[in-house]
Structure 1
């Protein structure tokens, strides 16, 4: 929502230093918000209108200190997450558990730490989920399970914390970032994957950012406990290409 005015509001974006998180941070800054991004490492390049706070989101005490040091919080975007490709049987349970910790436990930790500040401003939480949580996710099964849990957590949180705090989820599909080649290969691979999306392209980080701004804005004042699909139309079912019925000769 390009015309949203979030002037005077403070937005915290976890993991907002690159990729999707950077797109979200820039979108809120463009809407006039005071943006704080937090991660273990600073961004490769500073963003205009964005402050950086060094914090390990897996350290509850450090996360609580972060929010105690902020004068106000209007919006929390739980974006930090991710996972390497790791088949379930090829790694021990402890490694999979760390993926779940980053993608599910850390957002819960941040939300609890921000709750008192958000209640004061009748603020909003935006969870950054994934289509991996809505379908099988071979190679990133723990990540998919965590994202499914995140969406469920957001729905419960929306009920428990209403009417003071709105909580919604962005269900994000494939996004073109500086690390796309790690997932899809070279430029030809990225282009081939993009052709599987009904809209004909991968999302840009700004697409996700504008959706997050919308959910945090007054335009979404009556939206809570919802999941907004940001996936370009989803994934074409494989059986449609395999079936012979209605196939041209």
Structure 2
């Protein structure tokens, strides 16, 4: 059974909504009838029906203020903007790691804080786009993993602080296949997909469907973490043990 959603008359903000998972999430809400505002540092490659773009860097408090101040109503905030280059701690600058934490943890806090009055007025919801990197070791992207772990905790804190007026939930995304996945995963998408119980990486549509459900979920669903990871990642020892060994 395929669920259908009607977000007609609702206003949705998707940060980092111009590409990747964010673009898929924004498109899904627009197709469900919502008025969708996306923000990013650069415009989307092509304009899409139902989407409005505002240039904003969500790490900048003044940009966040300008972004939200232009809205009369807000029902859903999707804190999607995030990411990190491969950045081992050794040999990389502290400033780089600080910027990674700003984007993945501080920015969602700022956006949620500024959006709270509008969300409280509409009985709205915040969705954090988390990552499995925040639930397991993340070598090579330690700052990113730590920031995502912090984001998961932030969502639980805000859920408790803002209940019952505003719900706050997290979508914890595993390995995902977007337009940049081939570069990010060195072109080994199919091999990586084979390490996932579901047999493939997540798609933007998988994540978007979860966001649609969480934004429409019953009012008691808050502080939740929904893992969209296809069952997780197979532990390495499974591939080191022969099937003949009992």
**Matched residues, number:** 245
Alpha-carbon RMSD across the aligned residues, in angstroms, is 1.3
Counterpart residue number, 2:209: 210
State the alpha-carbon separation in 1 of the partners of residues 66 and 3 from structure 2.
Answer: 32
State the alpha-carbon separation in 2 of the partners of residues 27 and 117 from structure 1.
Answer: 22
Deviation at 1:238, TM superposition (A): 1.1
Deviation at 1:185, TM superposition (A): 2.0
Matched, 1:166 2:167: yes
SS at match of 2:90: helix
List per-residue Cα deviations over 1:183-241 (Å, max 9, x = no partner): 2223xx11111111111111111110110111101x33320000000001100111222
State the alpha-carbon separation in 1 of the partners of residues 14 and 73 from structure 2.
Answer: 14
Larger deviation, residues 141-150 vs 55-64: 55-64
State the alpha-carbon separation in 2 of the partners of residues 7 and 61 from structure 1.
Answer: 30
Counterpart residue number, 1:57: 58
Counterpart residue number, 1:197: 196
Deviation at 1:248, TM superposition (A): 6.4
SS at match of 1:77: strand
State the alpha-carbon separation in 2 of the partners of residues 247 and 32 from structure 1.
Answer: 55
Counterpart residue number, 2:10: 9
State the alpha-carbon separation in 1 of the partners of residues 83 and 185 from structure 2.
Answer: 15
State the alpha-carbon separation in 2 of the partners of residues 65 and 184 from structure 1.
Answer: 36
Indicate how the Cα distance of structure 1 residues 143 and 236 shifts in structure 2: closer, same or farther if over 3 A, else same.
same
1:99-118 correspondence to structure 2 within 5 Å:
99-118=100-119
Counterpart residue number, 1:80: 81
Contact 1:2 1:31 in 2 (8 A): no
List per-residue Cα deviations over 1:140-182 (Å, max 9, x = no partner): 1100000000000000000000111000000001111110112
- Which runs of 5 or more residues in structure 2 are unaligned? none
Deviation at 1:5, TM superposition (A): 1.2
TM-score under structure 2 length normalisation: 0.96
TM-score under structure 1 length normalisation: 0.95
- Which runs of 5 or more residues in structure 1 are unaligned? none
1:133-148 correspondence to structure 2 within 5 Å:
133-148=134-149
